Amino acid sequence: MVITSLEEKKPNKSKIIARNFDLFYGDFQALKDINVTMPQNSITAIIGPSGCGKSTFLRSINRMNELIPSVKTSGEILMDGEDIYTQDVVELRKTVGMVFQRPNPFPKSIFDNVAYGPRAHGLKNKNILEELVEKSLTDAALWDEVKDDLHKSGLALSGGQQQRLCIARALAVEPQVILMDEPASALDPIATLKIEELIQNLKKEYTIVIVTHNMQQAARASDYTMVFNMYPDRSGYIVEYGETSQIFTNPREKTTEDYISGRFG
């Protein structure tokens, strides 16, 4: 008799699906045949050695890679069944928000930082804006710390606060998916844990994909884990994808085992 885990599993609708997705920087193939399905309202962590294409894949999901002229892709990435590469890119980025490695608030007031996205999408009504800013800051667990200083520059906040401001800024455009590229790597441990807790709360409303080079963080903060590695020609592929509890206790692949137990290379 095999005894399985005690955790309940609720099947989620799939939100993002990559099918035979390839990506090239000029002649260099950075991603090879990526196939993966990410469920809605879940947190998917992407881990793997550096340079194996984690960020590249993440940036493919909101087409930020297109800012680099040499990038070519093939295969498809579907969101709610629709190919994102045939959608309008501005619309897509409204639905798929992004938080970066280093906190990057604009040199504007806290209020204007959060209101930036909604304003860009045409929201002018002051009352609605104020409400939205408050809700976003509250959801990003920052409201109580800044509610009296909304006119202060976002750059005057601490690193951890800045990162939460950036999360609030992303939330304010009411996306469905939030991509995070090593969002806590520039933060101290307490700020890091705050962000992780925050992410747990956010998954009720959003689907979250987070790149991290911190294995413990992936184990703590995610529901699913995607392990990337690269072939000898340095192109990245998915070694294994599964529930985080399985990946970190009983991975199927030797490469995963070696990587997560720190015996890689």
Partner 1 sequence: MPRETLDTKLSQIKDEIYLLGSMVEQSVLDSVDTLRTRDMKEAKRVYDEDNIINEKRYALENAIIILLATQQPFARDLRLLSAMLLVVNELERMADYAKGIAKINFKIGDSNIAIPVRDFQKMAEQGVSMLHRGLSAFIEQNPNQAAAIPQEDTIVDDLYNKIYRATIEQAIANPEIIDQANNILWIAHNLERFADRVTNICERTIFITTGELMEMGSSDDENGIEFE
Partner 2 sequence: MNTSLTNEKRFALRKKQPTPKQNLKRRKLSQKIAFGFFWLMGLIAIAVLFWIVGYVLAKGASSINLEFLTTRPAGGFDGEGGISTTIVTTIYLVLFTIVIAAPLGVGAGIYFVEYANEAQNHNKFVRWLIKTARTGVEILAGVPSIIFGLFGFAVFVSYMKLGFSLLSAGLSGACMVLPVIIRTTEEALLAVPDSYRQASLGLGATKWQTVTGVILPTALPGIVTGIVLSVGRIISETAVFWVTLGGSYRLPQNLMSSGRTLALHVYMLATETRAFDKALGTSAILIIIIILLNLAINITSRRFQKRLSGK
User: Which residues contribute to the site for ligand ADP (CB under 6 A)?
Assistant: 25, 28, 30, 48, 50-56, 68, 234
62 versus 235: smaller Cβ distance to partner 2 = 62
- Our finding on whether 192 is near partner 1 (CB under 8 A) is no
Sorted by sequence, the CB contacts under 8 Å of residue 136 that are 6+ apart come out as 114, 168, 169, 171, 172
Asked if 210 interacts with partner 1 (CB under 8 A), we say no
For 220-249, the three-class secondary structure string (H helix, E strand, C coil) is: HHCCEEEEEEECCCCCEEEEEEEEHHHHHH
Burial 82-109 (b: 16+ CB within 10 A, else e): eebbeeeeeebbbbbbbbbeebebeeeb
Work out what residue 128 binds among partner 2, Mg ion, ligand ADP, none; the CB cut-off runs from 5 to 8 Å by kind: none
Task: Look up residue 153 and give its DSSP letter.
Answer: B
| Contacted entry of Mg ion, ligand ADP, partner 1, none for residue 51, CB cut-off 5 to 8 Å set by kind | ligand ADP
Length, in residues, of the chain: 265
Q: Which residue has tokens 């860009």?
A: 120
The torsion region of residue 27 among left (phi > 0), alpha (psi -120 to 50) and beta comes to alpha
Place of tokens 């705050």: 194
State which residue, 201 or 250, has the beta carbon closest to partner 1.
250
Restricting to residues 205-234, which ones interact with partner 2 according to CB under 8 A?
Answer: none
Is 125 near partner 1 (CB under 8 A)?
Answer: no
Minimum distance from residue 57 beta carbon to Mg ion (Å):
10
Nearer to Mg ion, 46 or 137 (CB): 46
Binding site for partner 1 (CB under 8 A): 1-3, 215-216, 219, 248-251, 256-257, 260-265
Binding site for partner 2 (CB under 8 A): 62, 64, 67, 69-70, 90-94, 97-98, 100, 102, 104, 106-108, 116-117, 119-121, 153-157, 166, 169-170, 173
